[in-house]
Chain A
Amino acid sequence: MSAAEAITRRTTYRDAVRDGLRQALLRDPRVFLMGEDIGRYGGCFAVTKGLLEEFGEARIRDTPLSESAFVGAGIGAALGGLRPIVEIMTVNFSLLALDQILNTAATLCHMSGGQFPVPLVIRMATGAGRQVAAQHSHSLEGWYSHIPGLRIAAPATIDDAAGMLAAALACRDPVIIFEHMNLYNSQGELTAAAASADLEHAAIRRPGRDVSLITYGASLFKCLTAADQLAMHGIEAEVIDLRVLRPLDAKTVIESVQRTRRAVIVDEGWRSVGIAAEISARVMEQAFYDLDAPVQRVCSVEVPVPYAKHMEEAALPQVAQIVAAVASMFNHGQ
């Protein structure tokens, strides 16, 4: 059953991503998957389980452990007219392919005067919270969002997990899709809206009049929980899911802040020089005179993500901190 004709059904984020991949493979013979352990093993997060059996080795390709090599091969395939979807296990390992991504994928179209677009899609897991320690837990979405020539997607909902891939494949620029590893087991409704997921707009996941919580990825659900708690104190928080980190949908963010006059940015990346800093700057540039309080940021503590569970939790943005950051703007809880 395709996302387009889906009537609402309950599923997991993992199955929703797989559904998106299957639809892409069925729809377009140029589409193929490539990555470490995605075939026989079914992917290290089991996203591609069963696809090898259904589509065969030519289209579901296990690769050697060399990110630089298989991302480079993906770029070549995209230039050659195919529509490769490359999986990198986690964003930490993607740094081995950063040269290919930045110096080749993101620049070729510009350097060739538009003659050689690179319609490559790279999926990678990101984020912390599963006790896999510093080398598997970082959120480097901000690094990639810095690079002109790329489009950066961060699906948080089931619909986006299933639907953003189609928009990514339709794009002539390289697109990186960040899937937060904590989300794979999350459950929710897959609806017909998945078919219209775009790579342009942020989404207001909960309307509210008093403060804008601006976030993306798995932090969305922490923000929604925080908003529920704030509502009990009479503070109506609007929750914005950025969805796309490059290009940023500043319009939705600014219009929200102009209504609520307060902004808190929740970002699992490190605080300094990150996405939260960028959004804060945009708010300052475009909505300064509408602000009723300084912009707040709730981000990860600036350490490599710890292994020990209690320390890992302490290092990441949590609901209590979001609530506290909002309360500090209202003089509550003093």
Chain B
Amino acid sequence: MANEFRMPSLGPDMEAGTLVAWKVHPGDAVKRGDVVALVETDKGVIDVEIFATGTIEKLLVEPGTHVPVGTVLAQLKNGEASSEVPAPPAPASSPETVGAPQVTVHAAVQPPAARHQRISPAARVRAHALGLNVDSLRGTGPGGVITLDDVSKAGRANAKRANSPSEDQVHDMRRIIAKAMTRSKHEIPHYYLSIECCFSRAQGWLDQHNAAVAIEERLLPSALVLKAVALAARAMPEFNGFYKDEQFQAAADVHAGMAIAMRGGRLVAPAILNADRKPLAVIMSELRDLTTRVRSGHMRAAELALSTITITSLAEEGVDLLVPVIYPPQVAIVGCGSIVERPWIVDGLVQPARVMTITLAADHRVTDGRAGARFLRHVHDSLQSPEKL
């Protein structure tokens, strides 16, 4: 229902969640994409966005309450379909009439009348990087403005809360992983294919690129692999989607999930939305942003629930081969081993090469080995022309 806001499902296995805090008040106008509440799940505290546009009429659930997925949390007035473009807000004040020239030079900055929270540009940038909601912060700067220091402190406190998991949280996370992986191995007839992928060209291109660009624009190998997988998923939609109700539903878009380890033994796989259509630079900056937010305990609901295919890597743990387990209800997952130096034969000559073993695990109910081989080949070939990614 468009005029109700319900406890969302933030993952296929979520059954209930705890409303931690409201980010809106009755009477507030909201539009699609606004963060309206914080919900705690086994994966940590998550910013939950609303998918409807309207005015919050009534908040039905108190913070601290644990409720099942689907429970109505709030009612909206004038709720309308979420795809509508919201009407532009009425101008806050009429433009100033041109009158006598302004003489005052020391005009003090007046705090805006609205309950808009004042925050310094540097603090806003940092808050965004840490995934902190600025409305939840308290400002200690002049006139109550939120300063960089306030954000840094909140970020540390928040991260400590989210990422020094209590034994219960770790236990819950293990339980979730256990459930998902058991279901996967129980229901999904996996088949596995591996390919040894020469990564020399890609590495050379990366090194050259990284030496030439500003430090913020440097790329990591995982960005290349993610893009290559996303392109393969677009080319072969039978690997991109969900198996539900005894049939496969291909997804319209490619949202590539990246498995990210949280320090302290937890794992989530938030999505880079539309990864097939994003340039490497954007993928890389989103990966950096996601990693930071995952590790500081701030993920957005859409990023967690929307992955249509997943990439997982143990490249830095020194293993050659990673045989991954599909994250249901997805139908494919790609695992990357370490990039290692190996003898490689080119035109009959042995040369040293950097090699990464890439493994596809796919759902045999949906695809067969031959298709899987083409998929892997597609990933492999993309990585041979990194400049085209």
Contacts and interface: CB of A to CB of B under 8 A. Distances in A.
Contacts of A290: 121-122, 125
Given A289-B122, A290-B121, A292-B123, A331 B142 contact: yes
A329 interface: yes
Contacts, number: 38
B122 A261 contact: yes
Interface in A239-295: 261, 271-272, 288-294
Among B140, B142, B149, which residue has the most Cβ atoms of chain A within 10 A? B142
Contacts of A261: 120, 122, 148
A99 interface: no
Contacts of A330: 142
Nearest to B141: A331
Contacts of A293: 120, 141-142, 145, 147
A292 B148 contact: yes
Interface in A105-132: none
Nearest to A328: B142
Contacts of A328: 142
Interface residues of B, number: 15
Among B122, B124, B125, B141, which residue has the most Cβ atoms of chain A within 10 A? B122
Interface in B118-147: 120-125, 140-142, 145, 147
Contacts of B148: 261, 292
A299 to B, nearest CB: 9
A279 B303 CA distance: 42
Contacts of B123: 292
Nearest to A327: B142
A331 B146 CA distance: 11
A271 B105 contact: yes
A331 B140 contact: yes
A291 B105 contact: no
A291 B122 contact: yes
B96 to A, nearest CB: 20
Contacts of A28: none
Interface in A151-189: none
A331 B109 CA distance: 15
Contacts of A292: 120-123, 141, 147-149
B285 to A, nearest CB: 15
Contact of B125 (A271, A272, A289, A294): A289
A329 B105 CA distance: 19
A5 interface: no
Contacts of A103: none
A140 B147 CA distance: 36
Nearest to B128: A289
A302 interface: yes
A290 B147 CA distance: 11
A26 B227 CA distance: 68
Interface string A291-334: 11110000000100000000000000000000000001111001
Contact of B121 (A271, A291, A331): A291
Contact of B142 (A288, A289, A329): A329
A331 B123 CA distance: 16
Contact of A288 (B105, B121, B145, B147): B121
A291 B122 CA distance: 5
Among A288, A291, A328, which residue has the most Cβ atoms of chain B within 10 A? A291
A291 B145 CA distance: 13
A334 B121 contact: no
Contacts of B121: 288-292
Contacts of B124: 289
B149 to A, nearest CB: 8
A302 B106 CA distance: 11
Nearest to A293: B120
Interface string B220-261: 000000000000000000000000000000000000000000
Contacts of B120: 261, 291-293
Contacts of A291: 120-122
A291 B148 CA distance: 9
Contact of B105 (A272, A289, A331): A272
B260 to A, nearest CB: 26
A289 B142 CA distance: 18
Contacts of A294: 109
Contacts of A302: 105
Nearest to B103: A302
Contacts of B145: 293
A328 B108 CA distance: 12
B127 to A, nearest CB: 12
Contacts of B147: 292-293
Nearest to B147: A292
Among A261, A272, A329, which residue has the most Cβ atoms of chain B within 10 A? A261
Contacts of A289: 121-122, 124-125
Contacts of A288: 121
B326 to A, nearest CB: 41
Contacts of A334: 142
A272 B147 CA distance: 28
Interface string A33-52: 00000000000000000000
A288 B121 CA distance: 7
Contacts of B109: 294
A331 B138 CA distance: 14
Contacts of A329: 142
A294 B141 CA distance: 12
A334 to B, nearest CB: 7
A329 B120 CA distance: 11
A155 B257 CA distance: 59
B209 to A, nearest CB: 24
A32 B99 CA distance: 54
B246 to A, nearest CB: 51
Nearest to A302: B105
A247 B148 CA distance: 32
Given A261-B120, A331-B142, 12 more contacts: A272-B105, A289-B122, A289-B124, A291-B120, A291-B121, A291-B122, A292-B121, A292-B123, A292-B141, A293-B142, A293-B147, A294-B109
Interface of B: 105, 109, 120-125, 140-142, 145, 147-149
11 contacts: A261-B122, A272-B105, A289-B121, A289-B122, A289-B125, A290-B122, A290-B125, A291-B120, A291-B122, A293-B147, A329-B142
The 3 tightest CB contacts between A and B, nearest first, are: A292-B122, A292-B120, A292-B148
